[in-house]
Each structure stands twice: as C-alpha cells, then as structure tokens.
Amino acid sequence: MQLKGAVAIVTGGARGLGRAIAEAYAERGAQVAIVDLLKDTLQETARDMEKGGAMVLPVPADVTVASQVEEMAGRVKEKLGPVDILVNCAGSLSAIGPVWEVAPERWFRDVTVNLYGTFVCCRAVIKDMIERKFGYILNMVGGGVGDPHAYTTGYACSKTGVMRLTEGLAREAAPFGVKVFAMQPGPVLTAMTKFIMESPEGRKWRPTFSSIFEEGRDAPAALVAQLAVNLVSGEADALTGRYFDARRDFEAILKDAESILRDDRFTLRIVQ
C-alpha cells in the first residue's frame, strides 16, 4: 500500500510512540487522525504536525468508552474518508507491585485501556474494512507476551490478551483481505517508562529497569515508527496475525516467512 493519500487512525497519538508513528505516516503523505485523552497535548501535537505540512485531525476520545470510539471512527470517516490503517497505541501501566499489594482498580485499569480499548477500536473500524476488503490493524503489545513480567501483571495480562486478540482477529479478517499485526516496541523512553523508573513503586519493585536506558539497551521511537510503516507496505501480509519486534531485522523476518508459518513461530503457544 502507498501511504500517500491513505487514512490512518493512531490512538495515543498525542505523545510518545503514538506521535512518532503518526508523524511517520504523515511524512509519507497519509492523512492521520490522532486520538487521545490528553486534549491540550493533542491539539499541540496537531499544530506541530500541521506546521510541517501534515494533514492531521485531532480527535479527543477515551478508548475505553465504546460510544466515544464509535463517534470518533464516524468523524474520521466523515472528515478524511474510509480508514485504511488503525494503530492501537493508547496504553496504560499504572499498577506496579505484587498481586497481593496492588490496588485492584489500577490493575484493572491497565487491562481495560490496553485490552478492552484495543478491542473497542478494532471493532469500530474493521466493519468498514471488511466491506471494502482492505485494511491494516496494528496492535501494540509489550512486556508480558514473552516473559512473566512480575510486579506489572495487569499490564502483562493485558498485552498477552492483545496478542491473542491479534491472532484471532487476523484469522477472522483474512478472508476479507484485512491484515492484523502485533507490534513489540521494546523499551522506549516515554511517559510510561519514566513512570516505572521514577515512581516510588517502580523504584521499589522494578529497581533495575532504569539500567536498560543507562546502558543504551532501549529502542528509539523512530525504529518503532519505521516498523509501523513497514507493516502496512504489503510485504508482510503473509504473516498476518504474527508478532513483530521493532528491534529485529524486518527483511530477515520476511525472508524467513515460510519457516515462520511452517513452525508456527512469532505467536503465543504452550510448548508441551
């Protein structure tokens, strides 16, 4: 797919990874709707992008409220046209600590934003994609998909759920030409990772997390944005439903596609 003229929705688009992806799409000629709860930051980001010549539509919305998401999707279609790309980047990590200590409402907030929010946004846009027999959905996963992720189990459970949602939706949408991918950004310096490093509970329960950034083992946002561009190019369509790590060589993955499918890799399975 050519990004020039395409219509994309990026949730969590006011800052961090969402903004980086939105800017990457806009730089290549896409019309981008950025969606976020942070209204002031959203407007500021839109103004910055417009200065660079981007066609951007800021839409304040809470991804955990289905009615707001449906209204957002309708507004984007009315203002920009049918949606070609959805990037579910809105996320939350607020519950840090062992299960017996974390506040239940904060634990469930992470699940609600990350998993339910992704589901609601997928549901709002995929109906039109199914009718048009075209579209791309990119779901952000993260820590917990491939490891226990102790002390942030709400986040880990939600992201594992997003991976399974990605797989299931990819199977459902495949007959209609719609592709769904899971994106693993790796550790990127954002408000979320700063919270882990700077909050009292983060310093207590995840004391070594900051070493990732101190030692330069983090991933630049631009790397994640490039993956978001690559995944809608059409080159990876055969791997719909799979997990892509921004830190891995994209071209090498494509060359290995046949064995990935044969051996059922880059997905969630119980090894017996």
| Average of per-residue pLDDT across 134-157 | 96
- Domain membership of residue 267 (yes or no) is no
Tell me, yes or no, if 155 is annotated catalytic: yes
d(CA 19, CA 38) in angstroms, rounded, equals: 12
Task: Express each pLDDT in 190-229 by its tens digit.
Answer: 999 999 999 999 999 999 999 999 999 999 999 999 999 9
Q: Are 83 and 77 in contact (CB under 8 A)?
A: yes
Is the pLDDT score of 46 beyond 90?
yes
Does a structural domain hold residue 1?
Answer: no
Q: Is the pLDDT at 120 greater than 80, yes or no? A: yes
Mean predicted lDDT score pLDDT of the chain: 97
Length of the chain: 272
pLDDT score of 152: 97
Q: Is the pLDDT reported for residue 268 higher than 80?
A: yes
- pLDDT at 90 > cutoff 90: yes
Q: Report yes or no on 235 lying in a domain.
A: yes
Q: How do residues 71-80 score in pLDDT, each as one tens digit?
A: 999 999 999 9
| For range 122-137, the mean pLDDT | 98
Does any domain span residue 253?
yes
Q: Which domain holds residue 203?
A: 7-262
| Residue 2 pLDDT greater than 90, yes or no | no
* Percent share of the chain, pLDDT over 70: 100
Please check the confidence at residue 1 and state whether its pLDDT lies above 80.
no
Confidence class for position 271, pLDDT limits 50, 70, 90: confident
Is the CB of residue 221 less than 8 Å from the CB of residue 20? yes
What does the pLDDT read at residue 13? 98
Cβ atoms of 89 and 35 closer than 8 Å: no
Tell me, yes or no, whether 157 lies in a domain. Answer: yes
What domain count does the chain have?
1
- Check whether 108 has a pLDDT greater than 80: yes
For residue 68, the domain's CATH number is: 3.40.50.720
42 is written with which tokens?
A: 């959203």
Predicted local confidence at residue 161, as pLDDT: 98
Tokens of 155: 């986040």
Structural contact between residues 135 and 121, judged by C-beta atoms closer than 8 angstroms: no
Dist CA 252 CA 186 (whole Å):
18
Instruction: Give ∠ CA 67-68-71 in degrees, rounded to 5.
Output: 85
Residue range 161-179: average pLDDT?
98
Q: What percent of the chain has pLDDT over 90?
A: 98
Indicate which residue of 25, 136, 151, 155 is catalytic: 155
Contact predicate 88/11, CB 8 Å:
yes
Cα separation, 159 vs 148, in Å, equals: 12
Q: Please, which residues have CB within 8 angstroms of residue 54's CB and are 6 or more apart in sequence? A: 23, 26, 27, 32
Residue 107 in any domain: the answer is: yes
pLDDT reported for residue 29? 97
Asked if residue 157 lies in contact with residue 143, where contact means CB atoms within 8 angstroms, the answer is: no
Which has the closest alpha carbon to 41: 25, 22, 68?
22
Cβ atoms of residues 122 and 182 within 8 Å: no
Q: What are phi and psi of 84, to 5 degrees?
A: -95, -30
In a domain, 162, yes or no: yes
Mean pLDDT of 79-95: 98
Tokens of 227: 């993956």
268 found inside a domain: no
Residue 239: how many CB atoms within 10 A of its CB? 22
CB atoms within 10 A of CB 7: 21
